[in-house]
């Protein structure tokens, strides 16, 4: 049982910055990768950034150089630092944690946070 709580969204002018946080609680020992996704109105949810349990990050091309994902395993928290915001970054940002099954080998389950709204004005 894992709960993800996101925070840090808001309304920011283009060029500004935000830092999103995702705090995991509950049974966190089986968390492997964590990631950030976003969904704009009328569009599919897309992967923004992902970080492995060992701290190796991956980014979608549209955010490389502007977004930074990190995690603090001691605090069971993932972060997304967003710089140089653009209006097209406006979306609901969701945190995801992949939880390994304790009974089925090579199976994992995705847990999602409630989402936090990021709005970028021009």
Taking only the tens place, the pLDDT of each residue in 55-114 is 999 999 999 999 999 999 889 999 999 999 999 999 999 999 999 888 888 898 999 999
pLDDT score, position 63: 95
Element spanning 89, H or E: none
| CA 14 – CA 88 distance, rounded (Å) | 10
pLDDT score, position 102: 84
**pLDDT at position 1 over 90:** no
pLDDT score, position 56: 97
Determine contact, residues 71/34, Cβ cutoff 8 Å.
Answer: yes
pLDDT score, position 26: 86
| CA 81 – CA 69 distance, rounded (Å) | 6
Determine contact, residues 78/69, Cβ cutoff 8 Å.
Answer: yes
Taking only the tens place, the pLDDT of each residue in 10-51 is 999 999 999 999 999 987 778 899 999 999 999 999 999 999
| CA 102 – CA 94 distance, rounded (Å) | 25
Burial string for 66-88 (b: 16+ CB within 10 Å, else e) reads: ebbbebeeeebbbbbebeebeee
């Amino acid at each position: 049982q894992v709960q993800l709580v996101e925070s840090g969204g808001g309304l920011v002018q283009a060029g500004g910055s935000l830092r999103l946080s995702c705090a995991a609680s509950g049974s966190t020992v089986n968390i492997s990768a964590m990631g950030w996704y976003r969904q704009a109105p009328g569009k599919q949810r897309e992967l923004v950034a992902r970080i492995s349990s060992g701290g190796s990050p991956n980014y979608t091309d549209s955010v490389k150089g502007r977004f930074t994902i990190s995690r603090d395993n001691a605090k069971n928290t993932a972060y997304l630092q967003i710089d140089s915001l653009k209006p097209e970054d406006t979306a609901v940002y969701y945190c995801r944690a992949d939880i390994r099954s304790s009974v089925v080998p090579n199976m994992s389950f995705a847990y999602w946070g409630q989402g936090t709204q990021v709005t970028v004005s021009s």
